[in-house]
Copies of this chain bind each other. A is one copy, B any other.
Amino acid sequence: MTNFSEMLEVARTEALIGLGEGGVPVGAAIFGADGQLLSSGRNRRVQEGDPSIHGETDAFRRAGRQRSYKDLVMVTTLAPCWYCSGLVRQFGFGTVVVGESVNFAGGVEWLREAGVKVVDLASPELIEMMGGFIRDQPGIWFEDIGV
């Protein structure tokens, strides 16, 4: 897979599964340099009562130990929060693909300033889906971002 929109579909599927489970609908996936899928994951704060599982950290865990992340692509349906932006920066992901940053801008500018390539696909479907979740479940959403 070399098309960012196709990669985002993997993350979006994870987000939709999470939504169906009653969870925060953020999904993520990690791809290798030649576009192969290494892992995918989703936020499971609600499902597992575990606040450490954001979409990005779940995909990161599921990719196992990697010696380098610079050629890998982190794809996430929603702009990464500070926690997940810190993950991207610490481990040196070269590229981050973001489904949308309208409902939450996260650390996108900070990552760009640190030299990470950030591609924002501004998906209307995801903007609507996440916006709907925040309206319907503000308590869970604000808990998830520590507000």
Contact = CB atoms under 8 A, between A and B. Distances in A.
Contact of A64 (B49, B61, B91, B107): B49
Contact of A86 (B45, B61, B84, B143): B84
Interface stretch (A6-14, A50-58, A95-103, A129-137): A50-58
A55 to B, nearest CB: 12
B51 A61 contact: yes
A61 B52 CA distance: 5
- Copies of this protein in the complex: 2
B61 A50 contact: yes
A86 to B, nearest CB: 2
B49 A57 contact: no
Interface residues of A, number: 31
A51 B90 CA distance: 12
Interface string A77-116: 0000111111101111000000000000001000000000
A146 interface: yes
A49 B63 CA distance: 10
Contacts of A90: 81-83, 145-146
30 contacts: A45-B65, A49-B65, A50-B61, A50-B64, A51-B60, A51-B61, A51-B64, A51-B65, A51-B66, A52-B52, A52-B61, A65-B143, A68-B146, A81-B86, A81-B90, A82-B86, A82-B87, A82-B89, A82-B90, A83-B83, A83-B86, A83-B87, A83-B89, A84-B86, A85-B86, A86-B87, A86-B107, A90-B146, A91-B146, A92-B147
